[in-house]
Amino acid sequence: MAGTAMTYSMVDYADVQGLVRFGYGRMTSASYALVRVKNVAAAKAWLRAAPVTNAVEKSPPPTTALQIAFTAPGLTNLGLPKSVMEGFSREFRTGMSKKFRARLLGDVGRNARKHWDWSGPGSEAHLLVMFFAEHEHFDSFVQSTKGNTWSDAFEEVIWLDTSDLDGDEPFGFADGISQPQIDWEQQLERPHTQLEYTNIAALGEFLLGYRNEYGKFTDRPLLDPDPANAELLPAVDAPAKKDLGRNGTYLVMRQLKQDVREFWKFLYEQADGNLAEANQLGAKMVGRTRAGDPLVPIQAESIPGTEPRTVKQNQFTYEADPAGARCPFGAHIRRANPRNSDFPERRIGALRKLIIILGFGPKGFYDDLTSSVRFHRILRRGREYGSELSPEQALQPPPAEELPRGLHFICLNANISRQFEFLQNAWIASTKFAGLTGESDPVLGNRKPIPGCPVTGNFKMPNDGTLPRRVSGLPQFVIVKGGAYFFLPSLRALRYFAGA
């Protein structure tokens, strides 16, 4: 198990794409180009010359960054042999758009792939090229990076622009406050059972080639050494093999269109026209106020892995709110990160532990219903698009032509099925999360009926000592407009893909 005979291997930051370590927040301009390979030789030549940014901390910090990720069809198009492709995870290889996967992720009804703006049938992207820069450098950076060969090499599927809403997402709530802290140094000894919530995640949860929360290595392509892959690092767990996955990870991208007007209109109506109350209801749905403050008090006891600057908004768990009276069970951030540990009780002896394991522990209805979060963390790296619209503006009649707004959701994880897909399926989209029924994520839910449950658009807010407050008829506020699974390779792997 974890903790015994660990093999540590320091991370070579120069081999990791910077996005794993940094969000590039100072670079307020960003665009994502989704492209298809038009000419393999030209594409490889462009990739060889591409100034991809690594994760080394620089001073002064860079003003531009370039990151590149590939879909499975993209790698196949570049000529990666089938035998190598087979080493990648099934989710990545078979893609987001499989019918069963669409059902799993809630991509049905208005979210269905046939309505997508990109990555619909026949227009799958091959590469995701991400440009980041400080505002004044952006256009010149994009131009110089594309160079002369870009249009020979690639055919653009879509060019996704982003906007800087100053840390808020389009509904007007502060976003990206909580992120797991990666155990880069691999100092953490993982106990078999983790009794305390921790914000520190094993490196292997976010980077292939290292131990994950189970103390194991996630599958990735391991190659027999040959001249073409000589530059690749060896596998830590199989030193005779070359590790194509090492220092790379999977990137999940979803374009989430947000109906800001519908959101605020609904809240405003529920609050009988009182904007302060509408804000309160919105906060209950999100689990934070618009400023980003959690609905449960910040605790005195520190939580490992909480950055000092975010203590005021992140040093909390739901232990003191077991009934959801402050932050409803169904609130978006409580679904997305229940902040629990492997066990329903902490500071317990071996006997109590055994009693709980055998099923003679807590008997309350809401006790111990949620899986341990440490196996289901993601690193969010998304950006907003569209212009800002305040709640007051949102309540005004819309202009004749309105441009869409939303989130280009991006997350990184080493195991798509256990991390992103589990989270999206069992926690966000599930109408049965944590003992609830008839409601999915109040912000993200698709409100589609499921067999036996015609209503999934409720939202309940438990109250101490009285009936929960119930809101029903939540419309769909967020619509999926595109999405794909990518592999974000290490720089060595990138050079291997781009090899002649």
Nearest-approach distance from CB 413 to another protein, in angstroms: 13
Interacting positions 78-97 with another protein (CB under 8 A): 90, 93-94
Nearest-approach distance from CB 189 to another protein, in angstroms: 16
- Residue in this structure with the two tokens 């619509």, named with its chain if needed: 479
Please, what sign has the CA dihedral across residues 314, 317, 318, 319? Answer: negative
Under the binding rule (CB under 8 A), the answer on residue 368 touching another protein is yes
Under the binding rule (CB under 8 A), the answer on residue 437 touching another protein is yes
CA–CA distances in Å: residue 128 to residues 350, 463, 484, 495: 50, 46, 10, 16
Cα separation, 432 vs 371, in Å, equals 13
Nearest-approach distance from CB 221 to another protein, in angstroms: 12
Bridge partners of residue 160, in order along the sequence = 32
Q: Residue 328 phi/psi, 5° resolution? A: -55, 150
Residue 202, classified by CB atoms within 10 Å of its CB into exposed (0-12), middle (13-18) or buried (19+), is: buried
Under the binding rule (CB under 8 A), the answer on residue 123 touching another protein is no
CA–CA distances in Å: residue 166 to residues 25, 170, 410, 484: 10, 10, 18, 26
Confirm if 223 and 85 have CB atoms less than 8 A apart: no
Binding mask 177-206 for another protein (x = CB under 8 A): ---------------x--------------
Helix, strand, or coil (residue 294): strand
Under the binding rule (CB under 8 A), the answer on residue 371 touching another protein is yes
Under the binding rule (CB under 8 A), the answer on residue 346 touching another protein is no
Judged by CB under 8 A, the residue of 360, 393, 402, 475 near another protein is 360
Q: CA nearest 37: which of 154, 182, 212?
A: 154
Under the binding rule (CB under 8 A), the answer on residue 355 touching another protein is no
Judged by CB under 8 A, the residue of 81, 225, 273, 435 near another protein is 435
Confirm if 281 and 264 have CB atoms less than 8 A apart: no
Please, what sign has the CA dihedral across residues 365, 443, 454, 432? Answer: negative
Left, alpha or beta for 39 (phi > 0: left; psi -120 to 50: alpha)? Answer: beta
Binding mask 23-62 for another protein (x = CB under 8 A): ----------------------------------------
- State which residue, 68 or 72, has the beta carbon closest to another protein: 72
Tell me, by CB under 8 A, how many residues bind another protein: 59
Judged by CB under 8 A, the residue of 107, 243, 342, 384 near another protein is 342
Interacting positions 407-426 with another protein (CB under 8 A): 417-418, 421-422, 425-426
CA–CA distances in Å: residue 49 to residues 150, 151, 208, 307: 11, 15, 25, 36
Under the binding rule (CB under 8 A), the answer on residue 289 touching another protein is no
- State which residue, 170 or 438, has the beta carbon closest to another protein: 438
Under the binding rule (CB under 8 A), the answer on residue 159 touching another protein is no
List interacting residues with another protein (CB under 8 A). 1, 90, 93-94, 98-101, 103-104, 192, 212, 214, 216, 218-219, 323, 342, 344, 356-361, 363-366, 368-369, 371-372, 375, 417-418, 421-422, 425-426, 430-432, 435, 437-438, 450-453, 462, 464-470, 472
